[in-house]
Structure 1
């Protein structure tokens, strides 16, 4: 057993995120384990780039309101208590709305060569605005 009392807060790399995003690693795998988990905090308007995970990803929202979008145009508005599962290989993005912070726990299983993430291009301002507009009138 390992009791971890504190993890450093790191600024997420600008080449993978738009806006200010901070993370705390909750679980970093040591062989043979492959499970990684992080608390990720997004400021209003901040979001990930498009990306996918070789073995999928689970997101559990702990605070605020955000969005998750997929390449096929599906977008969902998420808030505290919601859990989203992203299947293996699905290109997606996630982040805060334009007016609220959002925090989630991101859980991934690495593929043996890292965290299994394939990072792609940024979500454009136009894509982000369209996602906000599509979900603005949806009831929570």
Structure 2
């Protein structure tokens, strides 16, 4: 925790949560969302000037694809209220969240990629290169 960010929050983030953070909510994956209790004046030289700072502490690996869409909107100040107050009812066609599989054994490897053997099917000859003179 003192020096790593990839397996949770660093000591500095933990300390900032305790001193200046207000817990706002938790999503279905256990990620915790915070907002700053310390306001930054509008004229200050900061990207957060005139608005509150918001952040997430992941429950597990730090992967931004684990932030649900409704909390992503809140993190980026798209709306002020917490997502529970903005969620529409779930649709029957919506699927459950699946984490980003890049870099894992479950990653997609299309035909011809090195991870899938590196052999592509032979070209069919139906491609004609563009030429500026044509």
Q: Where on the TM-score scale, by shorter chain, does this alignment land: which range?
A: under 0.3
Q: Which has the higher helix share?
A: 2
Taking structure 1 as the reference length, the TM-score comes to: 0.26
Taking structure 2 as the reference length, the TM-score comes to: 0.26
Q: Which has the higher contact order (CA 8 A, sep 6+)?
A: 1
